[in-house]
Amino acid sequence: MLNDIIKAIVYTELNEGSGPSPILWNPIDLPEKLRMSVAIKTITMLTTDQGAIPKSLVIMPFPSFNLKGIVKYIESQDDKFKGGTALSTITLLFSEADDLIFYKYMEYLESAFTEIAQKIIMLKSKNKTSNDIFFEINNLYLNISEILNDLQKKENSTSDLEAFPEEEMNDELEVTFNFKLVVCGDPGVGKTSTILRFTDDAFTRTYIPTLGVNISEKNVKMKNALAKLIIWDIAGQIKFEAMRRHFYKGAEAVILIFDLTNRKSYQNIVNWYRDMEKNIIPVKDKILGFILGNKEDLVNGRTINPEEPLLLAEQLNLKYLEISALTGKNVEEMFLKLTDTLINSKN
């Protein structure tokens, strides 16, 4: 299994008296020499860059052990330390020979590490015990294992397709544009069904249940250009709220979906928009995208007057369209219109 490449995870704290010390680790029989090497190297690395604390994950080699490590640096307020700041690190160790998967999917891992780091900062502020922190470190170990297993499924499911790259199926055009789209809405409104209707299974899908995100890719030929749409289907459950802001970043368009038979899902569209608005850099001072009213086919069940979402879309500077993920009505049309708008925004 892919998660077997995780060799260990080490939590280190910098003690002003004794220096860097490994505090917690998994597995519990991890050799002391390796624990100390991780602790010393991850902390002393900062001295080579004037003590600047990396905000993103860092990959660090441990050649004496034929290992590499993903390192997350954590700063937390602590009056017992000089300057009032305590420093700690989380290091996930893996074999040098297996580093490709970590480089390739660093973006997924970043969010998982960030969430755990925030929990550790909160625990330390409340003077919680090492047992509480170990619980979170172990959760990270398990979460990364789950993520890697999901990525393994994705790699296996696409291996046969790689012999026939999608670019070659598009008149040998090279991809001219890459656009990240985020799709949001309440649970059960049909986000995933809408995306599947458009992509028609001719794409790469990666579902990461631990993080609550489904990522799809499809190439779209527009005139003489080939655009790759990278579609992020964001989970609507509240338990993923803290992680969503990481997934919004870098998006160039948004798709907000509600259920025409569910008024509450429509009322929450504004909340979804505000949530994304805080984390997306607009294109020419404008967030591009659509509000979609799904389940247009359920004529007798609808509870939303067509004029309402039209007015809301106008207020938010978005476009509105009613669709049916079941029948496919207006789904492809919407994605093509959005792609055309994005291409024109680059000119």
Q: Tell me what pLDDT residue 152 has.
A: 63
CA dist list (Å): 90 to 114, 144, 245: 10, 13, 22
Say how far apart CA 161 and CA 237 lie, in whole Å. 32
Q: Catalogue the long-range contacts made by 63-69 (C-beta closer than 8 Å, 24 or more residues apart).
A: 63/96, 64/37, 65/34, 65/37, 65/93, 66/95, 66/96, 66/97, 67/7, 67/34, 67/93, 67/94, 67/95, 67/96, 68/93, 68/94, 68/95, 68/96, 68/99, 68/102, 69/38, 69/42, 69/93, 69/94
Q: Tell me what pLDDT residue 236 has.
A: 62
CA torsion sign, 230 to 233 to 239 to 242?
A: positive
Say how far apart CA 96 and CA 108 lie, in whole Å. 20
CA torsion sign, 136 to 142 to 148 to 150?
A: negative
Say how far apart CA 84 and CA 149 lie, in whole Å. 40
- Kindly report, residue by residue over 118-151, the tens digit of the pLDDT: 889 888 888 888 888 889 888 888 888 877 777 6
**Residue scoring higher pLDDT (97 or 120):** 120
What's the CA angle centered on 261, arms 255 and 265, to 5 degrees? 45
**Residue 195: which of 208, 204, 148 has the closest Cα?**
204
Say how far apart CA 256 and CA 292 lie, in whole Å. 6
**Residue scoring higher pLDDT (213 or 113):** 113
Strands of the sheet with 6-15, listed across from one edge: 19-26, 6-15, 85-95, 67-77, 58-62
Contact 211, 147 (CB under 8 A): yes
Give the whole-number percent of the chain exceeding pLDDT 90. 30
**Per residue in 47-56, is it b (16+ CB within 10 Å) or e — as a string?**
eeeeeeeeee
Say how far apart CA 295 and CA 262 lie, in whole Å. 10
Give me the CATH topology for the region 2-158: Beta-Lactamase (3.30.450)
The answer to whether the predicted template modeling score (pTM) of the entire model surpasses 0.75 is: no
**Residue scoring higher pLDDT (50 or 125):** 125
Mean pLDDT of 213-241: 79
- Kindly report, residue by residue over 307-339, the tens digit of the pLDDT: 999 999 999 999 999 998 888 889 999 999 999
Q: Which residues contact 274 (CB under 8 A, 6 or more apart)?
A: none
Mean pLDDT of 188-212: 66
CATH number, span 166-345: 3.40.50.300
Pairing between β-strand 85-95 and β-strand 6-15 as defined by DSSP bridges: antiparallel
Q: Tell me what pLDDT residue 321 has.
A: 96
Say how far apart CA 114 and CA 202 lie, in whole Å. 33
Mean pLDDT of 152-179: 57
Q: Which residues contact 21 (CB under 8 A, 6 or more apart)?
A: 12, 13, 14, 15, 39
Q: Where are the domains of the chain?
A: 2-158, 166-345
Extract the tokens encoding 75.
Answer: 């700063």
Confidence of residue 260 (pLDDT cuts 50, 70, 90): very high
Say how far apart CA 12 and CA 36 lie, in whole Å. 9
